[in-house]
Structure 1
Amino acid sequence: MPSSETISITMTPEQLRAVRESVEAGEYASTSDVLSDAVRLWQRRRRDDAERLNVIRARIRRSLDDPRPALSLEEVDAHLEALFAQAENDASRA
């Protein structure tokens, strides 16, 4: 098991109460276990956020590297109008 280090943290009374209630309810063995779980969740969220950001960056890069010519505002409007008309037509058939 990796070595551990003792730290001091400051929590609001509500946060501390929630941690203690969780331990008292038997959800965790100790406050340390609660906080370790919270840090693991925080790390997972950061990884997930980084992955989503990488996907967004890749999409932006593909868009910037797209060799097709840019559309004018009028072309975009016409394309959107056609898509909306098709969606309305499909909805009326259903």
Structure 2
Amino acid sequence: MTRQSITLTEQNDLWLREHVEVTGEYASKSELINDLIRRARRAEMLNEKLQAAEYSGFTDQSAEQILHEFKESLRK
């Protein structure tokens, strides 16, 4: 893993600390930031797929089939 140095606003640092120290959901700020980046990457991929679908026209897939296909692509 690469090590990075970032500067945060006071509000963002407080938000991170609260999520690490108060909720206990994350062991460190780094773990939380990596999770936020993973979520942003998934959202970006979903938005790209939605945009491509809009341009491609209609589909005969059900919503469940589309969701299954998307989840499978995340596992790869």
Q: Same fold (TM over 0.5)?
A: yes
TM-score by length of 2: 0.69
Match of 2:2 in 1: 5
Gaps of 5+ in 1: 63-94
Map 1:33-44 onto structure 2 (within 5 A): 33-44=31-42
Q: What is the RMSD computed on CA atoms of the aligned residues?
A: 1.2
Cα distance, 1:12 vs structure 2? 1.4
Moved over 2 A (4+): none
Structure 1 Cα separation of the partners of residues 50 and 21 of structure 2: 37
RCO higher in 1 or 2 (8 Å CA, sep ≥ 6)?
2
Cα distance, 1:37 vs structure 2? 0.5
Cα distance, 1:43 vs structure 2? 0.5
State the aligned residue count.
57
The residue type paired with residue 49 of structure 1 is: N
Cα distance, 1:31 vs structure 2? 0.6
Gaps of 5+ in 2: 59-76
Structure 2 Cα separation of the partners of residues 38 and 52 of structure 1: 21
Identity %: 30
TM-score by length of 1: 0.57
Map 1:1-80 onto structure 2 (within 5 A): 4-25=1-22, 26-59=24-57
Which has the greater radius of gyration? 1
Structure 1 Cα separation of the partners of residues 10 and 55 of structure 2: 40
